[in-house]
Structure 1
Amino acid sequence: MRPRIIGATASVAALGLLGSLVTACGSSSSGSGTTLRLVAAEYGNSPASSSKAYWDKLADAFTAAHPGKEVEVTLYPWADVDREVTRMVEEGNAPDVAL
């Protein structure tokens, strides 16, 4: 039961952060819509244990609730995600949300 609570909490937090970004400042415009960039850690070690399906589902739910908004999800292995986010920030290309 505990993993469900943690997963639900992460979902609510991510959706809340993305929702705040949409109303507060948005992100890179693509046509008439807005694309929000989310970077998250990948804790799986195979396609069967990957969190890609989870994040795709979350992004689809957000997009459905916010027409004209898109979420671009990038996953990095958990051991690399901090370094990659740091690199992105240093290059002036920070994601809108990093988890």
Structure 2
Amino acid sequence: GGGGGGDVEVTPRIGYSGRFSLTGADHPGMVHRLTTLLSRHNLSIDRMSTTQEEAPFGGATLFGVAGTANAYEPLADGFDPTKIGMELEELGEEMNCDVKLVE
């Protein structure tokens, strides 16, 4: 017999997937500002990792973030990866970091 009504998992369809990265001298708030910008554009972080290493000169710590961000269908009106990339570059300039988003 059986035939009970089990849970049906609905996997959302990915409408956009991009890889993001940030590299620069470590200072508080870097990850927060990056993830806030991604979230504002309805991008969900699928995976993310961070690295820290001593800079070759000057004794600063270099901080790196890399990961994958997805936007699910239906994509929001006006969703524009190029515009998001430009905003990330501006953020990088403000924080003196290298920030990228690539498909």
TM-score, normalising length: structure 2: 0.31
Higher relative contact order (CA 8 A, sep 6+): 2
Q: Which structure's CA Rg is the greater one?
A: 2
Structure with greater proportional helix content: 1
